[in-house]
Structure 1
Amino acid sequence: MKTINYKCIYLTLLLLTTITGFAQKTVTIKILETSDVHGSIFPFDYINNRPAQSSLSQVYSYVKQERAKKDQNVLLFDNGDILQGQPTVYYSNFIDTTNQNIVSQVFNFMGYDAATLGNHDIEAGPKVYNKMRDELKFPWMAANAVNESDGKPYFLPYTTFQKEGVKIVVIGLITPGIPHWLPKVLWPDMRFESMLSTAKYWVDQIKKTEKPDIIIGLFHSGHDAKYGDQDPNDVMNENSSQTIAQKVPGFDVILIGHDHDELNKKFLNTNGDSVLILDPTSAARFISEATIKVNIDIKGKVLGKKITGKLIETKTIKPDSLFMDKFKDCTKNIETFVNRKIADFTESTSTQDSYFGSSSFIDFIHSSQLSISKADISFAAPLSYSTSIKKGPVYVRDMFKLYKFENFLYVMNLTGKEIDSYLEYSYSHWFNTMTSSDDHLIKFKLGKDQTLELRKDGKVQLDNNYYNFDSAAGIFYTVDVSKPEGDKVTITSMADGSPFDLNKTYRIATSSFRGNGGGGHLIQGCGIPADQLNSRLVHSTDKDIRYYLLKWIEAQKVVTPKSLNLWNVIPADWVKVATERDRDLMFGSKQE
């Protein structure tokens, strides 16, 4: 009879466990992401002439801190929309064009490892983004922006990294909604394909050819596929990041942007695996941080992964002194640029008035658009939720308040009937249908219990985007909010008193964003097919509207912003009561 030596077995198992334990190691990968920085490079708001709470100078302080930790491998990514926003980038894009772009200087200095383009980077135009691509010392990606000539990605589709035996692949995607917002002249050699199908294709290719341990998505696209009443099943949905996380197995982390939202959440894909999505809002206010701990054996095989995420707020982080010293000459140039006086305003003007009727702020834009374009009718909306230009000296920086984006000025042909439909569409998204003075004038977002939904700052949430609240000039009209949607607007005459004819074709002035279908006014409102919009275009400026506004104001030297009073909202007694109430809900103590 054999005797089992339990002590020997125990010692053998203990030895095997010890050897196995020593054979394994844990590799820590820390991913840091910025997105939608919009030119917030320095800790100063050059538009409002005051210190800013967040900037890339603060991001760099945190990045240096994390890179100094020897027990982790840090990768730094940006997710697009850096080339529009603060005057810093406008100056580098369009004024100081001979020197290296400030963004590529800063990104190279900070040691970014990869980046994806955003729609506002495309908006800067091919001269700017092609120059940037040549200047950057790391991959700039957008797998679904393809070259029309050969169908291959115009930018790089993905990039790879090796960290302590762990292979990481990062796939870049850009929102495909660009053709609805930007004229073809800004993306002349490319087309934009579905994010979902592109993600499926490249994940499959990468698994076969690269055999990665980790796949990361760097997507300039939001998470809410229903945003703006979009169809979540539309393959060209502008916010497909969550859809990809759930429907395309293989991703470990998806870093997103575009929507300026704040998100740190895991979602299950069709294989039952969790995918972390991080979204760091905008203007360098947060840094997305994903920590991936990878357990690998002695042969380099991955035994397991643990992934956690958090958002790092930057307002309490001090700007890096080396960063600020490195770019001090640039800040001086920006200060000189924005502080140049161009005219005097005899009155203050604010966008807050523009939500409740004819206002001096929007009517000033109308007047300038009509003067510059020689069109019959102008359409415009507030591009900043709440901003103002004060009475007195007006500087270049104030032009970024007056007009936020680098849109071109379009002149298009619309019939009188289409103009009426355009306005009906705008006001159906803007104004509520009132039954008494107890109702709201503004269409606010309601929750499931029909109570007002609030933003994070405690103010009410609009049901639709304010930058789509187009009013008109060049015509007299009324908006009757007691009538149903589609029947609120009555156009009485042209501004000069001549008849307005529903069957006549008029020349209208509007932004290139609107002229390419942005907001839906022309496509859903007027019923013009998207592929026919270009045939309505009479001409376009070759520079942005802000440039022409600046020149127009500069030529006048002294300007009096005033309301044209070409339209009004009725019933007047209801509107007066509702305006006071809604204005307080929207702006509270910050009313101007």
Structure 2
Amino acid sequence: MAIVGLTPSNVPNWEASAPSHFAGLKFDEELASTRAAVDELIQKYSPDVIVGAFHIGRDSDAGAGVHKIAAEMADKFDVILAGHEHATYIESVQKATGDEIKVADISLAGGDVAEDKALAGTYNEANRSQSVKIIEPGKWGWALAKAEIQLKKNAAGKWEMVDTTLSNITTKDVVENEDIKAQFQYIDDVSKTDAQTELGKVVGDFTPGKGADEATHQDLNQEIGRLYTTIHTAKVVDTPLMDFIHQIQIQKSKADISAASLFSDSSNLIDGQTYAKKDSTNLYKYDNTLIGINMTGENLKRYMEWSYTYFNTYKEGDLTVSFAKGSKAYMYDQFDGQIQFVVDLAGEAFSMDDTYNITNEGNRIEIIEINGKPFDPKATYKVALNSYRWGSNVKKYGWATDADVYYDSVNEPVYAVRDMLTEYVEVNKGVNAKDFSNPNWEFKQYQANGAITLLRTDNGAGEALWNRLIKQEICVKIDPENPKYPGILHSLNVKDASTYFVNPNYGNADQNQVYKGCVPEA
């Protein structure tokens, strides 16, 4: 048996601000590297079984993902154990070349726990070259991915494939080892005590309406794990919640403009709450460092247009915004600082081809001014952004180079953006919303005379439908194939009844049941 391990070629981009992390290592394209490794294995050892251990997602924005490699090399691999995506699945991929990849969910009842043999069939010597099974066990130790491989020797003494069976063994009911638990209990205790360290008080509402949800103004339902509409107000309205991150980044880097993402729908700060250390982690959950770059206005505009591809194009009758399929919250940056701009979601979206050549510059962003002067595409502006965005996107797309970096927090005493937030609250004994209110952008559709605003207050069908959403009488449809990022693929639209459905649990006294009424069945 041979095991082929694979890690993403994107590592140098993710770690661009800290090249010492991968010094001396070379990262080749995934598919070509895997082919070379497997060819060498077969030539030298003639293994009876080849298993992939891939720390890559099913799709990839750099190089090949699991699906691509599985399709191209299904005749070589018998099983692929995958990670990195934090997803849970059991799938079969058919042998194919090119872009037409055929993937089937072969889990029992779509539950991703056990393989459905009726769907998968027998994987044996006669058909093993036609497909390969792949599995991923989710995140946070939810499950252990298991591949059972059955072989037998034929008359010539050679091992032949009888079958493979995949399963995710959930850890929920596994009894803890008391000796190990006792040995490491102090880590759990110290971590929780540290997270609960009180730093100060929150003053003012950091999100309009207090609660995060755009329609209901409720915060994330922890039991169900989502907002009611899955739209966080801070994604569509300029809020002190995001400006808190932006202004800290600007203060540290002395930038003109800050770019930052709202990573989690659970993020919010409520007037009167005690700010504990854990609140910084909730607001900024990644270990990103801070980079300051000199960027031309032309490339800044491209960066902004690229960011707003997170949203679908506005359609007449829309009462909400919606998100492009597969959109990830951490890939949508907002922009603050000495910049004034308007976003028109009716405009064309920015686009690039697979080699990052721009195919459409996009026209959603109108930059009105920067530093009190009209926007100049030829001018150079100081932009603060996190280390991930710097390496994975801006640098990779050629919008700035290492020579353009004027600030890097990696060697600072407080080097992580998250810890910068903690430092501010600790020094100031709290955080006040009025100190971080810098309204500098809005959606054209959300302006006082914008299409969405007017429709929500039209004293007619638009307002009636919007109120039904506020009352939780109806549900917007979310992406059932992407539960990790449960975005709205189609905006709530007064002209299209297929964009929503009646909440079967409307009026239930149990809010958890009301939320469950909007969760699509597996």
- Structure number with larger C-alpha Rg: 1
Map of 1:169 onto structure 2: 2
Output the CA distance in 1 between the equivalents of 2:283 and 2:22. 26
Task: Check conservation: 1:295, 1:304, Cα contact below 8 A.
Answer: yes
**How far 1:577 moved relative to its partner?**
6.4
Q: Residue 294 of structure 1 is aligned with which of 132, 151, 167?
A: 151
Q: Residue 566 of structure 1 is aligned with which of 436, 440, 453?
A: 440
Task: Check conservation: 1:433, 1:441, Cα contact below 8 A.
Answer: no
Q: Residue 426 of structure 1 is aligned with which of 302, 307, 312?
A: 307
**How far 1:319 moved relative to its partner?**
3.5
Task: Check conservation: 1:176, 1:238, Cα contact below 8 A.
Answer: no
Q: Is 1:515 matched up with 2:341?
A: no
Per-residue CA distance 1:88-127 (angstroms, 9 max, x = gap): xxxxxxxxxxxxxxxxxxxxxxxxxxxxxxxxxxxxxxxx
1:201 to 1:382, Cα distance in 2 relative to 1, 3 A:
same
Query: Partner amino acid for 1:477?
Result: F
Q: Is 1:489 matched up with 2:393?
A: no
Mind listing any 5+ residue stretches in structure 1 that lack a counterpart? 1-167, 231-235, 446-461
Question: 1:200-219 alignment to 2 at 5 Å?
Answer: 200-219=35-54
Question: 1:317-356 alignment to 2 at 5 Å?
Answer: 317-347=174-204, 349=206, 352-356=232-236
Q: CA RMSD in A?
A: 3.1
1:577 to 1:381, Cα distance in 2 relative to 1, 3 A:
farther
Per-residue CA distance 1:138-182 (angstroms, 9 max, x = gap): xxxxxxxxxxxxxxxxxxxxxxxxxxxxxx322211011223322
Map of 1:396 onto structure 2: 277
Q: Is 1:383 matched up with 2:236?
A: no
TM-score (norm 2): 0.67
1:247 to 1:366, Cα distance in 2 relative to 1, 3 A:
same
Task: Check conservation: 2:74, 2:93, Cα contact below 8 A.
Answer: no
Question: 1:249-328 alignment to 2 at 5 Å?
Answer: 249-269=75-95, 272-296=129-153, 301-328=158-185
Task: Check conservation: 2:52, 2:79, Cα contact below 8 A.
Answer: yes
Map of 1:467 onto structure 2: 330
Q: Is 1:547 matched up with 2:395?
A: no
Map of 1:556 onto structure 2: 428
Per-residue CA distance 1:327-363 (angstroms, 9 max, x = gap): 1122122123222222221245466222212022211
Q: Residue 401 of structure 2 is aligned with which of 514, 528, 533?
A: 533
Output the CA distance in 2 between the equivalents of 1:406 and 1:210. 42
Q: Residue 366 of structure 1 is aligned with which of 246, 266, 281?
A: 246
Task: Check conservation: 1:376, 1:508, Cα contact below 8 A.
Answer: yes
Q: Residue 442 of structure 1 is aligned with which of 298, 321, 343?
A: 321
Task: Check conservation: 2:343, 2:444, Cα contact below 8 A.
Answer: yes
Map of 1:113 onto structure 2: none
Query: Partner amino acid for 1:329?
Result: Y
- Percentage identity across aligned positions? 24
1:245 to 1:494, Cα distance in 2 relative to 1, 3 A:
closer
Query: Partner amino acid for 1:328?
Result: Q
Task: Check conservation: 1:246, 1:267, Cα contact below 8 A.
Answer: no
Output the CA distance in 2 between the equivalents of 1:298 and 1:396. 66
Output the CA distance in 1 between the equivalents of 2:166 and 2:373. 63
Q: Residue 24 of structure 2 is aligned with which of 165, 172, 189?
A: 189
Question: 1:60-79 alignment to 2 at 5 Å?
Answer: none
Task: Check conservation: 1:177, 1:238, Cα contact below 8 A.
Answer: no
Mind listing any 5+ residue stretches in structure 2 that lack a counterpart? 97-127, 213-231, 350-361, 457-465, 477-486, 489-502, 504-510, 516-522
Secondary structure of the residue aligned to 1:419 is helix
Per-residue CA distance 1:527-586 (angstroms, 9 max, x = gap): x36xx5222211211122222222222212121134421111224242336786999736
Output the CA distance in 1 between the equivalents of 2:71 and 2:186. 43
Task: Check conservation: 2:318, 2:452, Cα contact below 8 A.
Answer: no
1:560 to 1:215, Cα distance in 2 relative to 1, 3 A:
same
Q: Residue 198 of structure 1 is aligned with which of 29, 33, 36?
A: 33
Output the CA distance in 2 between the equivalents of 1:262 and 1:509. 35
**How far 1:411 moved relative to its partner?**
0.3
**How far 1:316 moved relative to its partner?**
4.1
Output the CA distance in 2 between the equivalents of 1:365 and 1:305. 56
Q: Is 1:575 matched up with 2:447?
A: no
Secondary structure of the residue aligned to 1:388 is coil
